Amino acid sequence: MTDLRLEGVSKAYDETDALEEIDLTVRDGEFFTLVGPSGCGKTTTLRTIAGFEEPTEGSVSFDGRSMGGVPPEGRDVGVVFQSYALFPHMSVAENVGYGLRFRAPPNGQTVEDRVAELLSLVDLEGMGNREPEQLSGGQRQRVALARALAPAPDLLLLDEPMSALDARLRETLRRQIKRIQSDLEITTVYVTHDQAEALAVSDRLAVMRDGRVEQVGRPQEIYREPATRFVAEFVGDNTVLEGEVIANDRNGARIDVDGRAFEVPALSDGSEYATVCVRPGALSRTVDRNRIQVGVETSEFLGETVRIHGRWNGREVTLQLADAPDGDELTVGFDPADAHVVASE
């Protein structure tokens, strides 16, 4: 059991500042996700935790013990990478057993028993004699997970473990990973660029951008109360309206966007400009406040709902309705309480 701390971690390569002053605490037993667009520093953060990279500045500690100078094999971490990285000429059981090369199995178990236990944990019972090429992508990734977990590490690090799989398999595997993680209560740091996946699996997540942490929170907080416009747009769809604050008292604020005043919740600071974010589901034909006329550009049938992309005054609008609109124009409104306001950048 481990809690993990990064304090002021920066990492510079020759010409790139890959990480800048990262502060993060991952609690014991937590499923913690690093999410953000390509190149924002997720993998570098994970590699720094694992000990494959040393930070240029700052420190990484496990349960208060500094990991400075400790090599990966001394850190008690299990790592699963994007590619399966299984040994093709070893059987499944030998691949899992390879995870025990630095450390004997826990609780005095034999290697054979430990391998069998792990294969059963990842639902691959009886497949120990197969070769990796006789497995599906999802099965191979579960072998990689079993290998990482074999020495009973304190910390599990997963770097886009599902990116090579198709959508349905990803969903199944992510449920399996989540179940195994919570059964073992193992502190886990998970890297993904897929915001929906991050919201679905995490106890908490950090949204990263350009080598920095933009916001840390539980999935509901990140989704409902994004701290910045970047988070609001990266995590789920939002209609974003930026304008001038023309009134603000305890009953609410009014934001002028292209000469049109929108009613939103009261603002806590005195900024002159503000950005209004409205989730697709909050825009409705039957709400009579904050109404806008939307020119429909595309509508996508998603089964339960229809997602519509359109424009109001040249600005992108995304909404979600039960049925496709009849024409190419549509009037919708939103309740001020459903709008979330962030500072303008």
| Binding residues for ligand ATP (CB under 6 A) | 13, 16, 18, 36, 38-44, 193
- Give ∠ CA 38-40-42 in degrees, rounded to 5: 90
The residue (of 18 and 157) whose beta carbon lies closer to ligand ATP is 18
CB nearer to ligand ATP: give 163 or 176.
Answer: 163
Backbone φ, ψ for residue 159 (5° rounding): -105, 100
Q: How far is the CB of 208 from ligand ATP (least distance, A)?
A: 7
Q: Tell the smallest beta-carbon distance from residue 154 to ligand ATP (Å).
A: 23
Residues 6+ positions from 3 with CB-CB distance below 8 Å? 25, 26, 27, 28, 30, 62, 63, 187
**Among residues 25 and 56, whose Cβ is nearest to ligand ATP?**
56
**Tokens (6 digits) for 18:** 């890959």
Which structure tokens are listed for 274? 């503000």
Kindly state the smallest distance separating residue 83's Cβ from ligand ATP, in Å: 12
**C-beta closer to ligand ATP: residue 38 or 107:** 38
Of the pair 36, 78, the CB lying nearest ligand ATP is at: 36
CA 104 – CA 156 distance, rounded (Å): 18
Which runs of E-coded beta strand occur in 125-269? 155-159, 187-192, 204-209, 212-217, 239-249, 252-257, 260-264
Biggest CA-to-CA distance, the chain: 74
Q: Which is nearer to ligand ATP, 117 or 210 (CB)?
A: 210
Closest approach of ligand ATP to the CB of residue 43, in Å:
3
For residue 214, give the DSSP letter.
Answer: E
Residue 254 β-bridge partners: 247, 263
Q: What is the closest distance, in whole angstroms, from the C-beta atom of residue 156 to ligand ATP in the complex? A: 18
Write down the least CB distance from residue 98 to ligand ATP, Å: 25
